[in-house]
Structure 1
Amino acid sequence: MNRDWLPIRTTPWTLGLILLMLVLLVQISALPQRLDFWLYDQAITSAPPRVSDDVVLVTIDERSLGHLGRWPWPRNLHAELVSKLHQAGAKTIVFDILFSEPSPDDALLAKAMRRHGNVFLPVYLSPPTSHYLLQEQLPVDPLAGAAAGLGHAHVELDSDGVARGLYLYNGMGQKLWPSLSLAVTGAEPDQASTVDAPAYVNVRSGYRAVPLAGGAGSIPAYSYSEVLNQAPAPELFRGKTVFVGATAAGFGDILPTPFSGLSRPMSGVEFHANVFSAHQLGLLIRTAPPWAAALLTALTILVLAAVLPRMRPARTLLACGAAALLLLGLFLFGLFRLGWWLPVANALLVPLLALPVSSGLRLAMTNRFLNRQLDDLARSPQVSLPAPAGRHPTQLLEHFRALLRPEGWLLMEENDLLAAKGLVPADIPADLTPGYWHHDSNRSWIQLLRGGTRYQLGLLLANDLGREAIQRYLRRLRLEDPALTSHASRPRENISARIERVRLATERLNHMQEFIRRSFERMPDGIIVTDELGVIRFANGHIEEWFQEPMPSLGGLPLVKLLEGHDPRETPPWHETVSDTLTLQQSRTVDLKIRHKDFLIHFAPFSLPDGDQQGIIANISDISELREQQRQHREAIDFISHDVRSPLVSQLALIEQLKRDPSHIDQEQLDQLGRLARRSYHLAEEFVQLARAEQLTETRFYECEFLSIVENARDSVSEQGVEKQIQIQLHGSEDLWLKGNAELLERAVINLLTNAIQYSPEASTVSIQVFRAGHQACLTIADEGSGIDPDELPHLFDRYRRQKRTELAGIHGTGLGLSFVKTVVEKHRGEISVASSPGHGSAFTLKLPIANPLQ
């Protein structure tokens, strides 16, 4: 095998070394550390823990300073506070207040502290002034001796200035003080883990991150002055650890936290109370050793370097995303389940870097292979038509005359007149732009350049409704010379040139496929393409609509099963037709019926040009309308041959009888002849009216008032009602304007009223109601006749259909009246319904859309 055709494979070593170098390079910046801080802050703030029920704050706030005066306060106030809390049952009192200077009230405060027996004081690690080194600042001896324990109040700020935790032990030289919150639990100063260091060196150990319960104000707090001035409150302090410290603005230490940053910092006393709460709940978080993060980063590099080169490009993103999610999951699991803060920033950068690096290597790997395939792609077939821009203006004029049939034209070459009719050179506009149409009313002009020669072409179009459509069509035509078209500069970069060549080749292929797909979809017939086993591989939208099968289920379905499931037949069976088409390579045409609709399916075999594969193209045509027209044609012939022919034959026979004996013509014979003539006339009239209704279009619509139409129809049948002593009652007074044909609507209402009178007994009532229902004008005609049988109702509006009971009763009709009414109503986009039962009369209801429903 030629090695030039093999892509350059990316080995795990190549990808791994690149990722390792990039990770080491990133360590120069502060990005990994900031990313670790951000991940920790997002995790902690999204799921803060609850506050321990054993902790509460007594705050030196602005209100206390206003009531008790400026700081420092006499220590007898602190002694009184300790006594109040002791009486309230406070279990432990923790002061976050520095008592490093002696005071006359020290003995009083020490006495109150001993009386309570569980008061803790802070040790501060800070220089006395800016000219001194860091040193410990302890409480004065009387207070330190009376305290149950001492603890450091130093909070460690991270490199970004945010307080996320503190050291459990901190001190100067060889003595490490426990943190203030840890001292409450009974921890003693740690001297075993100290090192031999000078007294000015800050020594610390046991760093813990603190999951805060929220921003400032998350822990229950009570004002110092309120607690001091009110009676002891056991319900607030009994059995609880009370932290006392400053929260007033500008007084005491303030700490930015992950919840607030510098916008709403937290006081030091509340931070220590959060430390105590987290310690009580066992939620303090250890930090993983540095080697753990380095090991995790190395392991991530090894795994991705080994896996990515063997994956498909589409799965690389998923693999890198999965690795990032796995690292985030490991981080969250360690943080919330194990209580370990494992820095994952370096490891998390690995999949983020691996995606572009592996993609770049793959791009280089496929570069040679891509270049070898470009020539084959460039020779792919394409769908194109000869552009009109390359045709000579005389040819264009000939085509325009044949296509558009203009009333006049003009073609000039420079100053020479080549062809003209109805236009003269003086009509040519002076501001023509080459290649762009200029339309002036019904005149359209264009200037063309062919081989350095200038042509002016003009068309005089018919000034009718189609003129604007033709002019829009002309604007879409591109008739300028291709030689004058500016070409975009070709890409100079090697890879860009190759990508452009691939784009053009694939674009031609896509255009070919899109052309074929759209051609199949826009065909009026349904198209099915099968493979050589008769299994459907393609179907257009008509097949999905007609068979009501979702497109995904059509693919892979045998054509025989589809046809048998919708039109089972025995002669000829579908499998025989399909198999004969495939085996004999002969076309077949068969009738098909789907859901009461008629189709014609034509099976045509085909063979692919580049192989031995064969299949069938099935073309399905909807011939339901044609079959319906054939049925109506047969019914019309039957109607003419029987219903129309029968009274004419009777008339001819009666006339022949009268001619044989003209001296004995009595009135009864003349009446019978008149009845036959009138029946023939009514048959012809209803036949003509039905034809007019079927040809009705909205171009013959105009505004008409529905109540007036009904009143005219009532007046037209009033004489018929008087003959049978039938009372016709019209109810309705609202003008209802429609968009329709008043003549045919009136005829439809007359048909309904005539039927109501004809089928009603003498001295009965026919009720007419005209009313509005929403956006519809409604008409209900109810009679007291014999009603309609239930089995006749579904076929009531079919043409040439007559009721058996009424025919037997001697009431003869044509079967066209109700069909005419239904046709007129449907042409007006309305609906008609009937409610009837034998012996209780019938009620026909028409609903037609109102012209202006908002009025």
Structure 2
Amino acid sequence: MTRNWLPIKTTPWTLGLPLLTILLLLQTTSIPQRLDFWLYDTLITENPVEPADDVVIVAIDELSVDRLGRWPWPRTTHARLIEKLDKAGAKTIVFDILFPEPSPDDQELARAMRNHGNVILPLHLSPPSRNYLISEQLPVPALASAASALGHAHVELDKDGLARGLYLLNGLGDQLWPSLALAASGEPLPNGEPPDVPLYTNVRQHYRAIPMAGGSGTLSSYSYTEILDLPAAPEAFSGKTVFVGATAPGFGDILPTPFSGLNQPMSGVEFHANSYSALVKDELISRVSTPIAIGLAVVVIVFLSFALPRMRPARTILLCLVTLGLLVLAHALLLLGARLWLPISHAMVIPLLALPVSSAFRLAMTNRFLNRQLDELARGPTMTLEEPSLRHPPQLLSQFQALLQPEGWLLAEDNEVITASGLTAADIPPLTEPGEWVHLGSQSWVSLLRNNITYKIGLKLPNDLGREATRRYLRRLPLSTIQSPARKSGPRENISARIERVRVATERMSQMQKFIRRSFERMPDGIIVTDELGVIRFANGHIEEWFQEPMPSLSGLPLVKLLEGHDPRDNPPWHETVSETLTLAQSRTVDLRIRNKDFLIHFAPFALPDSDQNGIIANISDISELREQQRQHREAIDFISHDVRSPLVSQLALIEQLKRNRGHIEPEQLDQLGRLAKRSYHLAEEFVQLARAEQLTETRFYECEFLAIVENARDSVSEQAVEKGIQLVLQGTEDLWLRGNAELLERAVINLLTNAVQYSSSGSTVNIQVFQAGHQAYLTVSDEGEGIAPDEIPYLFDRYRRQKSSELSGNHGTGLGLSFVNVVVEKHRGEITVNSRLGEGTAFTLKLPVAHPLG
């Protein structure tokens, strides 16, 4: 037993090394980082945090600029704002406004700051101008000393230009400043050793991502000018941290965020207010270091490298999807629950790439396997038939001779006769179109072009009924040379060449399958194929038709149940026959009867090559017609041995009697001898006529007029009717043209009229009606005789069947007359019906299709 399937395997090393290489290459691109940003933004924007209750914004908006005038405003204005907020009970005031240059109003602003006692001012780290090192831009000393704390206002922009977080500590050298949010919260600075770096080095520590409450305008905000103009509002500012900064477009810093993108950026003061809100609620997000993220990706590589080669292809897809889903779920839980931002892009890419890489290895091995199988298929047999157009003319002529048995033939090459019989070169007609047959009388000619040589073939067909059918067959034959298209070069691409080979192999397999299936369907017998347990796996259309079981129900049905359900038997039982066929591997032939039809079923065991599988092929033949012929044959023998022999024996006995007494021959004896001879003649005539009717085919049909046929039949029976004093009345004046055999139709009508006269009493009338109804011609023959018993009507047209009443009345018939009529009517695609009542008479009605129903 050979195996046609080879296991497709990959090893952890063959899968892990390519994945690790891909991971290292990804490190040189920005794809993983962009994927991490997208995941973070999606989760943050879909799950915004609730803002802290004690944060509020005083916005330097467009309205404030319009009312208070051009920026910068006098610092006395800011002092007034502090006083108003102090009266309203503000806990902390945070300015997101730089004061790096001195002003005459600094003392007044400083005094207001000291009076409040908790005012935070920003500082900025930047070079004073181009070509200078970075430096700290602090508030003027008077304001810096009055502030309760200083905080840096720097916001970190990621590589895609969005602001997602900031560093809690930022400064030069060992002087690190807290962020505005950290300074405002009063929280202690994060632990850490001061860096040992030069004093001009920009140092940033403790990056935190900010989970914002929403886009611009989410936090509570009041206009700067409204605070100055209206009385103090303790209900709005009491015990709260107030951030003061610019929100007017084109004025102050603006930051694109995950909520806004570049279309609706957020002002710096709002960003710092969100930072403060997240800080006091302990919702700042820490980012996990990159080495840990890389380590997670390596773990995923190791896991998939060991798992995927052991799994089926369908399950590898599921495993990769589950791994991807678990990574995303872990990322979401850490980000939203533990406030840890774990970059999982490297780990996410691995299952996405592991599937195609693993599939590529499987496909490579599969391709090698398929190539071997395709080579075997290419060497296998095909079911294509050679076209007649490719055969050499002498070969064609010999095949025509074997198939058609012509009375004569001729083969010429460029007007030189090669072989001939019954035809000469003078008989060759003009032949202009190669491959087109020309029919002249009994001759058929065709010219063929082969390798620029013109051949001519002539056939002299026998003058019989099949000549026209033979000509139609010859016209259908494709004999013209088919110009094959220019051979195209095979595809250069490897996959295309393989696809082409698969297509060709599939075509050949499909042709083979179609040939086998059509062969089974075209077979005159029913075919059933079972497996080794006698369960039906295939059946052709004859089985479905004869057993009247739908094809879906046949498949999977035990053969024994099918046979027992339609022809139950006990000796031998069906299960015994089927099981012995399988166990003993011996053929069986059994009679079968289904729905009053006779069949012969032949069980033959079979075994598949190169396999342990076996089963049964059951061939079922319909022998109903054969059995009917056997029955008719027996009836014919009985008829000849009794009905034909009986008058002959009587004639011989009478002749012997006359020989013994030659001088005394009575006229009655001669009359009896004549009657016996006449009866023998009628018996033989009816037997011959029935045989002729059964052999009738439509090739012997021609157009004939039905009314004339009936008139001729009436004239033939008129003498017999006059002898009994019976009147024949014909009603019908319309010509009705039929396509049929007038001789046999006339004989059938004569039989009907003879029966009507024979079974009618003297002085009665036999009515004959001929008319058309729809597309049918009708003939009704009705008599006034004794009628037919109802129980005899179903068997009236059976051959050799005689009516009991007729035998008792002395009308001895053969039982072939009405059988002959029925056969003739069926051959003409017609119908015959009987309507009879005892004591009242009988009416026979014939219905035959007219030749031109639309005429």
TM-score bin, normalised by smaller chain:
0.5 to 0.7
Residues 462-481 of structure 1 mapped to structure 2, 5 A cutoff: 480-481=482-483
Alignment match, 2:62? 62
SS at match of 2:249: coil
In 1, Cα distance between the equivalents of 2:73 and 2:279? 32
Give the direction of change, closer, same or farther, for the CA distance of 1:380–1:143 in structure 2 (3 Å limit): same
> What is the one-letter code of the residue matched to 2:385?
L
> What is the one-letter code of the residue matched to 2:207?
Y
In 2, Cα distance between the equivalents of 1:128 and 1:560? 103
In 2, Cα distance between the equivalents of 1:221 and 1:548? 83
> 1:321: Cα distance to partner?
4.4
Alignment match, 1:136? 136
In 2, Cα distance between the equivalents of 1:224 and 1:421? 121
Is this contact kept in 1: 2:92–2:241, CA < 8 A?
yes
> 1:50: Cα distance to partner?
3.2
Residues 268-287 of structure 1 mapped to structure 2, 5 A cutoff: 268-287=268-287
Q: Does 1:390 align with 2:390?
A: yes
Q: Which moved more, 1:269-278 or 1:511-520?
A: 511-520
In 2, Cα distance between the equivalents of 1:148 and 1:34? 40
> 1:155: Cα distance to partner?
0.9
Q: Does 1:40 align with 2:20?
A: no
Residues 157-172 of structure 1 mapped to structure 2, 5 A cutoff: 157-172=157-172
Residues 394-433 of structure 1 mapped to structure 2, 5 A cutoff: none
Alignment match, 1:175? 175
Give the direction of change, closer, same or farther, for the CA distance of 1:387–1:199 in structure 2 (3 Å limit): same
Cα deviation 1:400-428 (Å, max 9, x = unaligned): 9xxxxxxxxxx999899999999977x87
> 1:119: Cα distance to partner?
4.0
Is this contact kept in 1: 2:449–2:481, CA < 8 A?
no
SS at match of 2:301: helix
> 1:543: Cα distance to partner?
9.9
Alignment match, 1:94? 94
In 2, Cα distance between the equivalents of 1:168 and 1:548? 84
Cα deviation 1:384-404 (Å, max 9, x = unaligned): 23235524689999999xxxx
Give the direction of change, closer, same or farther, for the CA distance of 1:18–1:223 in structure 2 (3 Å limit): same
In 2, Cα distance between the equivalents of 1:61 and 1:563? 96
Q: Does 1:49 align with 2:48?
A: yes
Is this contact kept in 2: 1:581–1:587, CA < 8 A?
no
In 1, Cα distance between the equivalents of 2:90 and 2:768? 115
Give the direction of change, closer, same or farther, for the CA distance of 1:396–1:87 in structure 2 (3 Å limit): farther
> 1:263: Cα distance to partner?
3.4
> 1:202: Cα distance to partner?
1.6
Residues 595-674 of structure 1 mapped to structure 2, 5 A cutoff: 605=604, 607-610=606-609, 613-616=613-616
In 2, Cα distance between the equivalents of 1:71 and 1:191? 40
> 1:511: Cα distance to partner?
4.1
Cα deviation 1:416-462 (Å, max 9, x = unaligned): 9999999977x87xxx9xx99xxxxxxxxx998632347999xxxxx
In 2, Cα distance between the equivalents of 1:518 and 1:69? 97
In 1, Cα distance between the equivalents of 2:107 and 2:204? 33
> 1:292: Cα distance to partner?
0.9
In 1, Cα distance between the equivalents of 2:336 and 2:133? 40
TM-score (norm 2): 0.56
In 2, Cα distance between the equivalents of 1:538 and 1:389? 37
> What is the one-letter code of the residue matched to 1:489?
G
> What is the one-letter code of the residue matched to 2:73?
W
In percent, how many aligned pairs have the same letter? 56
Alignment match, 2:761? none
Cα deviation 1:761-786 (Å, max 9, x = unaligned): xxxxxxxxxxxxxxxxxxxxxxxxxx
> What is the one-letter code of the residue matched to 1:586?
R
SS at match of 2:182: helix
Q: Which moved more, 1:484-493 or 1:71-80?
A: 484-493
SS at match of 1:269: helix
Give the direction of change, closer, same or farther, for the CA distance of 1:6–1:200 in structure 2 (3 Å limit): same
Alignment match, 1:248? 248
SS at match of 1:263: coil
How many residues align? The count is 608
For structure 2, the 5+ residue unaligned runs are 401-410, 419-424, 437-445, 458-472, 623-724, 727-763, 778-832, 834-855
> 1:154: Cα distance to partner?
0.8
Alignment match, 2:588? 586
In 2, Cα distance between the equivalents of 1:80 and 1:570? 117
SS at match of 1:176: strand
Alignment match, 1:200? 200
In 2, Cα distance between the equivalents of 1:80 and 1:164? 34
Alignment match, 2:155? 155
> What is the one-letter code of the residue matched to 1:488?
S
In 2, Cα distance between the equivalents of 1:521 and 1:116? 104
Aligned-pair Cα RMSD in Å:
6.1
SS at match of 2:286: strand
Residues 269-308 of structure 1 mapped to structure 2, 5 A cutoff: 269-308=269-308
> 1:13: Cα distance to partner?
3.3
Cα deviation 1:642-679 (Å, max 9, x = unaligned): xxxxxxxxxxxxxxxxx99xxxxxxxxxxxxxxxx9xx
> 1:153: Cα distance to partner?
1.4
Give the direction of change, closer, same or farther, for the CA distance of 1:285–1:190 in structure 2 (3 Å limit): closer
Give the direction of change, closer, same or farther, for the CA distance of 1:195–1:491 in structure 2 (3 Å limit): closer
SS at match of 2:262: strand
Instruction: Pick the structure with greater CA Rg.
Output: 2
TM-score (norm 1): 0.56
Give the direction of change, closer, same or farther, for the CA distance of 1:448–1:314 in structure 2 (3 Å limit): farther
> What is the one-letter code of the residue matched to 1:33?
Q
In 1, Cα distance between the equivalents of 2:600 and 2:366? 48
Alignment match, 1:486? 487
Give the direction of change, closer, same or farther, for the CA distance of 1:25–1:609 in structure 2 (3 Å limit): closer
In 1, Cα distance between the equivalents of 2:247 and 2:15? 55
Is this contact kept in 1: 2:413–2:456, CA < 8 A?
yes
Cα deviation 1:9-53 (Å, max 9, x = unaligned): 7543344334334433443344443443344334434x2323415
SS at match of 2:94: strand
Alignment match, 1:645? none
SS at match of 2:205: strand
> What is the one-letter code of the residue matched to 1:486?
R
Is this contact kept in 2: 1:76–1:109, CA < 8 A?
yes
